[in-house]
Chain A
Amino acid sequence: MASLFQRRRSKATQTERVRERRHEGFLRYANFRWAKISGGLCLLIIVSYALIDVTPRPNGGSWYGYTLGTIGAGLILWLTALGYRKRKMTSDHWSLKAWTSAHVYLGLSLIVIGTWHTGFQLGWNVHTLAWVLMMLVILSGLYGVVVYSTLPAALSNNRDEMTQMQMLEAIRAFDRQLHAAAQPLTPQDTAPVLAALDEDPFAGGIMARLSGRYPDCATAAALRALGASRSSDAGAREKVVGLLSQKEVALARLRQHLRIRALLEIWLYVHVPLTFALIAALSAHIVSVFFYW
């Protein structure tokens, strides 16, 4: 395994700075270094579990169980530290990509470490609660890995070189033009347009945000209403309808943007709180184990 640890840190002290020169994602980082390490660890555990005959039976309380438990608890705490590492811009040489890579693969190895630590003894108690929470955290993390590797391209395609601010600005520009263009309309036609102008592009709640479906969209409603209306001057109405459909396209882009971003972020609202619940349950698990030593 020594070759896996050809550290670049010694190089970093040389005059040439260590920089990332190629686009290499966190999953492939350093030729799957952390996948290999964590895979090797899992294999080691599975094989040794089969070979070592713990008496009276495999159990979290045996010496072997304690070993796995200590490794697992340590790992959980270290994995949690990613949240701190990510935000703490110290000046020494580290790569958040390497941390993410290790986080993902070592996190996955906890499935084996944690489960084999139990000796497959699960029940309705605080110990199993910690195990269940851990599995849920890993599951939500898996979702994160999947969306991180599939959604960015869609996000990029949808925004088409526009920034979120520009998308909002585009909608506001249509609003201003609509405001001017709607002046000649009859009050009956003006009402839906005004409702469309009042619409907050961010409104709609979490379900709308995640699904991208906005059945109560005031712009769509105004388009329908004006399409069916015969009351105002046809030319003026046509202009407003044109602007409304342009706004609808702009809105659709923004909503798709927000949807993908939400999908990329939503899991963190599960992953992180569950991690803290896990740490609480883990503490209870450890304290109770030693209390009943």
Chain B
Amino acid sequence: MTEPVKVAIIGSGPAGLSAASRAGQLGLSHVLLEKTDHLSDTIFKYQKGKRVLATPERLDLRSDCRFAEGAREYILGNWDEDAVNNKVNVVKHAEVTAVTGQKGAFEIKTAKGDVYHAETIVLAIGTQGNPNRMRCEGADLPHIIYQVDDPEDFKDKHITVVGSGDAGIENALGVAEEALENTVTILNRSKDFARAKAKNVSDMMEAGENGLISIRTETQPKLVEPGWLTLETPTGDEKIPCDVIVARLGSVAPRGFVESMGIEFTGPDREAFPKLSPTFESTVPGIFVIGALAGYPLIKHCMNQGYDVVEFINGNKNLTPADEKDLAAIFANLPQKKSVSEWLDYLRERVRIFADVSPLQMREFMLDSKVAYYRKGDVVFEKGEPGSSLFAIADGHAEVEVGPGITVPIEQGSIFGEVGLISGRKRGATIRAGADSIFVEVSRTAALKLMAAVPGAKRVINRISLERQLLQIFKGGLTVEDLAPVVDAAEVERVPAGKVVLTEGEQGDDVYVIRSGSMVVEKDIGGKPIFLRYLPAGSFFGEMGVLSGQPRNATVKAAVGAELIKLTGESFRRMLAARPQVREATEAAVAERAQMNNFIESRKATYSSAVDLYSDTASFIMKEGLGEATDALLIDENLCVGCDNCEKACADSHEGLSRLDREAGKTFAHLHVPTSCRHCEHPHCMADCPPNVIHRGPDGEVFMEPGCIGCGNCMRNCPYGVIRMEAAPPPKPGLLRWLLTGFGPGPGEPSPKWTKKQLGDEKPKKIAVKCDMCKGIAGGPACVRACPTGAAIRVSPEEFLSIARLQEDAG
């Protein structure tokens, strides 16, 4: 039993420590509970010497603890000093197991059985969870680690990996790289590897056969000693040399613990965060949540929140957040003068998608947005321009140019530009300000975050985008009112790659619109499915059934995972009946498609082999995931002489690193898909980039701007393995010098040996490297320009699988 404190802070990471320091500075009674024997365990567990970056740069640090870019040791050292200087009352080895009570009288129990009493609680436990520890004797020795940051840190060591789930196997394979010369053993308590993915298990078995890993089943650790490990095996105990133990025994995610206190989350999915007020208070009064757990993964955010939350608890109501000046700058150029909070309320009141957004979310969200004033007639964006941001109309209205001289207004409170947001493609129409207006421009990532966090915003955006998509597809004077019944009856369907949506010969009259992903249309001709067409996002299918009432005349299946909007045949027919022009336009589209089908069918009779090749090539292209590509490199191996000039050109056009691997990848009928970026329609790499530096550029390229922190998320998320983590090599001597004197490594990516020799002991930070489609280079993609034989081309799937190609192939 200890004295009750004003505030108990759980977790001593950047957020918790900053909060405790503020409490210490204010002289508030407090306690900082840390489960390990050191502060800030997450950063403590970084590998030795790792450089910690202080992003975002524009955000000011407001904390009693210091933080600037530096090595892990430097930062941790500073914080240890700061904790002492700020008179932080820290209790180590205090793992909180239960929280009971309510505001003013919380009771906190720790694993050791201690009980702490506090009026308020600040929860700053991060998202790592607790790794399950080893339980045998000697389990607290320092050479037991729970993660492997960089396998290259281990050379010529005896390493034992305990636990054979995916994490354990991946770590074991990592450190077992032949060049590292480690002796690696992996232990599994049971006989088989049921918890791991089949691919990992087979890779491990292969490594085992090749003598790179010694795999020991039905074996577990019994005694850990420095340099040695005693194993309990089916045939008795055995002592093996062991310098490092990597324990991968799974972990307990913190969500269950947080929910046990009664705190609600925004949703059931993994990305959901606790619901919070503007002062970081959760749904349980008196419990505040900050840091990574609150959805802020960057250290600086966390530290600022620690400071702010304690100020709030201490009754400071006038505290303006650290981002106040950044927000003020965002609103500075508008004609009206209002305070930041007035502006935020103004936007929340006037824009439909912001209606359900909390003030705290709104602040965060506006930092990633722009607000601008447009005079009547100003162009916001032009048709065909690339762009993925979303615009919201806070004041005035916008005009969409749907045809030459024809405009449709979009009213205040609504949004535009949402098609780029959802399909990642170019702008479908030119938009002008219809009056003097204020538009909010929201970046794609911020908008997606908003949709994930606020269900109301998601509903509004989805509904508006569906209406717009339908208006764009079915032209002819259609209005939002005409569409209302269709939209009301519409359902969104997710289909995995390869799934058949429509089957040839079946009856049905539903119409589908592809919201994301793409589809392939096939027809059974002579007992073989023949590829007819590739349908990119934004197209529709199934309309022939509605118009003719006939059974489906072709099979449609998903080329990649896709999102479809299913419109019922009945509501669609009613809409067509109400608008004869729409019916005509749809019939014309149907006629065109039917003509193309007939063409392929007629060709099949005369040029069977050409059609088969075309069809098989299309299936191959789709199987390789090019269905989601917007621009991919393809190599004709009838022409490729293997000179690798494409790779060299790529390296020389960038900072000395090649973004493509010509030789790797699959081949069909001499058509080779090398390992290089396809600039996916919905880039997987963008999904989880903490500093948000991956963007879609003006030519549709997915590129990285400077600011990569080297976390490797994009590399892991890319299903095509086209992102490398690499440091740029030092500059090399010029080409003429190499040609004339042989000095330097010559064209292309220098060998690792040369780079190593130039750098000496310096180990530059590895960052993500990917194709940017030679953005900013006037001549266009270097890989294609530098191909001496014409083997390399860059195409989008619809260009490559065009009917023109079949016509030429068929002669």
Point out residues on A near B: beta carbons under 8 Å: 12, 17-26, 29, 83-84, 86-97, 99-100, 148, 151-153, 155-156, 159-161, 163-165, 173, 176-177, 179-180, 261, 264
Residue numbers in A under 8 Å from B641 (CB-CB) = 148, 151-152, 155, 264
Instruction: Jot down 20 A-B pairs with beta carbons below 8 A, ordered by A.
Output: A12-B778, A18-B780, A19-B780, A20-B784, A23-B634, A23-B793, A25-B790, A83-B739, A86-B788, A88-B735, A89-B649, A91-B653, A93-B778, A93-B780, A96-B786, A97-B787, A100-B788, A152-B637, A153-B670, A261-B642
Please give, as numbers and ranges, the residues of chain B lying within 8 Å of A173 by CB-CB distance.
Answer: 206, 210
Min CB distance A181 to B, Å, is 10
Within the complex, which residue of A26, A176, A177, A180 is in contact with B789, where a contact is CB–CB below 8 Å?
A26
> Which residue of A has the minimal Cβ distance to B773?
A17
Residue from the list A17, A90, A151 in contact with B780, Cβ < 8 A = A17
A290 to chain B, nearest CB (A): 27
- State how many angstroms separate the Cβ of B741 from the closest Cβ of chain A: 15
- Are B793 and A20 closer than 8 Å at their CB atoms? yes
A21: chain B residues at CB < 8 Å are: 793-795, 799-800
Tell me whether B182 is interfacial, beta carbon within 8 Å: no
Distance in angstroms from B456 CB to nearest chain A CB is 38
Chain A residue nearest to B652 (CB atoms) is A89
Q: Do B211 and A156 have beta carbons less than 8 Å apart?
A: no
Task: Report the stretch among B153-161, B355-363, B660-668 that lies at the interface.
Answer: B660-668
Knowing A153-B637, A156-B667, A161-B667, the reply to whether A23 touches B780 (Cβ < 8 A) is no
| A161: chain B residues within 8 A (beta carbon) | 665-667
B466 within 8 A of A: no
Which chain A residues border B179 with CB–CB below 8 Å? none
> B472 at interface (Cβ–Cβ under 8 A)?
no
Nearest 8 A/B pairs, CB to CB: A156-B637, A163-B663, A23-B636, A89-B652, A93-B779, A97-B790, A20-B793, A87-B747
Residue of A19, A88, A159 near B793 (CB, 8 A) is A19
Q: How many Å from the CB of B803 to the closest CB on chain A?
A: 14
Contact between B791 and A152, CB atoms less than 8 A apart: yes
Cross-chain contact of A94 among B664, B785, B794 (Cβ < 8 A): B785
B782 touches A23 (CB 8 A): no
> Measured between alpha carbons, how far is A177 from B632 in the docked complex, in Å?
39
Contact B793 A22 (CB under 8 A): yes
A152 in contact with B788 given A19-B793, A87-B735, A91-B778 (CB within 8 Å): no
The docked-state distance in angstroms from the alpha carbon of A177 to that of B779 is: 50
**Complex alpha-carbon distance, A164 and B777, angstroms:** 31
**Who on chain A is nearest to B206 by CB?**
A173
Known: A91-B778, A152-B638. A23 touches B785 (CB 8 A): no
- The answer, yes or no, to whether B141 is at the interface (CB within 8 Å) is no
Q: How far is the CB of B800 from chain A (nearest CB, A)?
A: 8
Pick the most buried of A83, A90, A261: most chain B CB atoms within 10 A of its CB: A90
The interface bits of chain B over 619-634 (1 if a CB of A lies within 8 angstroms of the residue's CB, else 0) are 0000000000000001
B645 in the interface, Cβ–Cβ < 8 Å? yes
Q: How far is the CA of A247 from the CA of B500 in the complex (A)?
A: 43
Q: Are B777 and A100 within 8 A (Cβ)?
A: no
**What residues of chain A lie closer than 8 Å to B566, measured between beta carbons?**
none
Q: In the bound complex, do residue B664 and residue A163 qualify as a contact, i.e. CB atoms below 8 Å apart?
A: yes
A-contact bits for B256-277, CB 8 A (1 contact / 0 none) = 0000000000000000000000
**C-alpha gap A20/B788 in the complex (Å):** 13
Closest Cβ–Cβ distance, residue A156 to chain B (whole Å): 3
Contact A153 B638 (CB under 8 A): yes
Q: A152-B638, A156-B637, A264-B641 are in contact. Are A89 and B782 (CB under 8 A)?
A: yes
Across the two chains, which residue of chain A brings its CB closest to B654? A89
Q: Is the CB of A177 within 8 A of B653?
A: no
> Measured between C-beta atoms, what is the minimum distance from A264 to chain B in Å?
5
* B788: chain A residues within 8 A (beta carbon): 26, 86, 96-97, 99-100
Tell me if A164 and B653 are in contact (CB < 8 A).
Answer: no
Which residues of B lie under 8 Å from residue A95 when comparing CB positions? 784-785
Residues of B281-330 whose CB lies within 8 A of A: none
How many whole Å from B183's CB to the nearest CB in chain A?
15
Taking A21-B799, A97-B790 as known contacts, 20 extra A-B pairs with beta carbons closer than 8 A to each other, sorted by chain A number, are: A12-B780, A17-B780, A17-B781, A20-B787, A21-B800, A25-B639, A86-B788, A87-B739, A91-B777, A92-B779, A93-B778, A95-B784, A97-B787, A100-B789, A152-B638, A152-B789, A155-B642, A156-B670, A156-B672, A176-B211
In the complex, the chain A residue whose C-beta lies closest to that of B635 is A23
**Which of B211, B653, B670, B799 meets A89, CB within 8 Å?**
B653
CA–CA, A176 and B666, complex, Å: 27
Chain A residues near B790 (CB, 8 Å)? 20, 23-26, 29, 97
Evaluate contact between A92 and B664: CB separation under 8 angstroms: no
How many whole Å from B333's CB to the nearest CB in chain A? 28
| Alpha-carbon gap, A131 to B661, bound state (A) | 42
Q: Which of A22, A91, A164 contacts B779 (CB 8 A)?
A: A91
The reply on B209 being an interface residue by CB < 8 A is: yes
Bound complex: CA of A159 vs CA of B663, how far in Å? 9
- Residues of chain B lying within 8 A (CB to CB) of residue A24: 790
Tell me which residues across on chain B come within 8 A of A89, comparing CB atoms: 648-649, 652-653, 747, 782, 786
